[in-house]
């Protein structure tokens, strides 16, 4: 079946946004990344900070709930509501087809959609640190700290909300090592997969 949706999960610094933008340009498809949070917040009539904070499920929120258990149920209910609405929103985008969605657990929400191609990007730690140091104008050591923090947050949130292992090959159609394969070569490979060549 021809693929009309690409989801990209990724380790921090492996090039997910860059690859998604290149794919969108190459295929002429819509691209959704961080902007999706703003669109969802607007749709739900909620502050962006609250919707973005729902990605911290299983991490920061659990600590808050342990300290202030009286608020635990309200926070958990709100997080579940946002999680469910995010899934609904992503499925609505997917129904329109011809789109690339970065992160946001899109692979999970669209796991039963036969038109979705699920990609996970990973890369050598030094490659990732060099990319982050350059793009965020920080030292390589600081980049490594950011990578550890971001990947831990992504893993914790993904696993807590989906019950699946983040980066597990069984959840994706392709795992691509961008430090070995290169982003441009990976883009061409994904285009071939989408077009069914």
Residue 20 scores a pLDDT above 60:
yes
State the pLDDT confidence band at 70, using cuts at 50, 70 and 90: very low
57 vs 138, residue with greater confidence? 138
The confidence score (pLDDT) of residue 52 equals 79
Q: Are 59 and 157 in contact (CB under 8 A)?
A: yes
**pLDDT for res 74:** 53
- Structural domains of the chain ordered from first start: 5-195 (3.40.50.300)
Q: Is the pLDDT of residue 146 over 90?
A: yes
Give the pLDDT confidence score for residue 63 in this predicted structure.
44
């Amino acid at each position: 079946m021809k693929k009309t949706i690409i989801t990209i999960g990724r380790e921090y610094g492996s090039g997910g946004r860059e690859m998604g933008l290149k794919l969108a340009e190459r295929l002429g498809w819509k691209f959704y990344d961080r902007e999706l949070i703003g669109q969802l917040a607007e749709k739900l009539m909620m502050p962006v900070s609250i919707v973005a904070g729902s990605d911290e499920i299983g991490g920061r929120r659990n600590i808050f709930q342990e300290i202030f258990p009286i608020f635990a149920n309200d926070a958990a209910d709100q997080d579940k509501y946002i999680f469910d609405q995010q899934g609904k929103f992503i499925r609505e985008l997917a129904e329109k087809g011809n789109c690339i969605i970065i992160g946001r657990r899109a692979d999970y929400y669209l796991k039963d959609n036969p038109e979705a191609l699920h990609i996970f990007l990973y890369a050598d730690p030094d490659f990732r640190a060099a990319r982050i140091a350059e793009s965020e104008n920080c030292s390589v050591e600081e980049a490594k700290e950011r990578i550890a923090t971001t990947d831990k947050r992504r893993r914790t949130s993904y696993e807590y909300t989906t019950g699946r292992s983040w980066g597990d090959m069984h959840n994706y159609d392709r795992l691509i090592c961008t430090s070995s394969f290169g982003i441009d070569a990976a883009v061409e490979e994904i285009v071939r997969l989408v077009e069914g060549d």
